Structure 1
C-alpha cells in the first residue's frame, strides 16, 4: 500500500504545506480548490524559475480558477511562446477560448493539440467539448477516443519515474 508523506499535499488531514512547493504541488491544491495554498506553491516556483513554461501554465490555471480569464489567456500565450507544443497548455488555452465563446479558435487550438499529441485523452476530450458546443456530430467520436485513450493512460507519466526512484 502506498501512503503519502505527512507533509505531502496528498495528505488530506495535514494542513501543512510540502517542504519544497512546486508547480505540481500547486496542481494538487488547485484540483482541491485550495487556491491560497496553490498560490503559495506557485510563488515558490516563480522564485526558482520565473520563465518556466510550466510555471506560466500553473499561473494561468490559477488565474482561470479565480475567474481572471484575460490574465489566464495572457499567461497561456506566454507559456505557448516558450513551448509551442505544450500539451496541457494547448488544451487549457483551447478550453478557455471555448469558455469565452471563441469556439472556432478554441477548436483550432484543440485540433492542433490532437495533431501534436494524438494519444492525449485530455486533448481529445477538449476537442469533443469544443465540437459539442458547436453542435457538431463529430463530438461523440472525440469523447469515445478520449475514453479509449484514458483507459491506457498511466497514472503518473513515465518520464518522472527516474526522478522518483
Structure 2
C-alpha cells in the first residue's frame, strides 16, 4: 500500500513572488492523489493561499474563494478527486504567477516503485493458447516503445524462445 505524500509548495523557496518559482511547472512535474498534503510556507504579512473556482483562477479573481488560508504554515490535505485551483490573494501576486492548479486522482491509481507483470491463468486444452498480461500498476516510464520492448522480452522468455 502506497503512503500519502507531502509536498512543500515551491520546495525550499516556499510560497512567494520573490523566489523566481514557476508554480505551474512545479506542479506539472508531480502526481497528486487523495490523501496527499500540500504545505505552504510563507510570510502571512505578504501572502495567503486561496482555493478558488476555475473561472476565478483564470481571471485571478480572489473575491469569492472556496477556502482561505492565512497562517504562513498551512497544511492542505487533498480529500477528494478534483481539480484544485490555488493562488495568492494579495493584489498583483496571482497576476505575477503566484498560482497553480492540480488534478487530484484516486489513491488506487497511485504509482508503485515497480511495475509487476503476471501472466493470466493458463488456457485449457480446448481454448486457444493466447497469452495476455495484466499490470498491477501503471508503467513508470512514459515511452510506449520501452513498454512494448519489455512486454516482448517477457513474452519471449516466457515462451522459451531464448532457451
Normalising to structure 2: TM-score of the pair?
Answer: 0.20
Higher share in helix? 1
Identify which of structures 1 and 2 has the higher relative contact order when contacts are C-alpha pairs closer than 8 Å and 6+ apart.
2
Give 1 or 2 for the bigger CA radius of gyration: 2
Normalising to structure 1: TM-score of the pair?
Answer: 0.20
Higher share in strand? 2
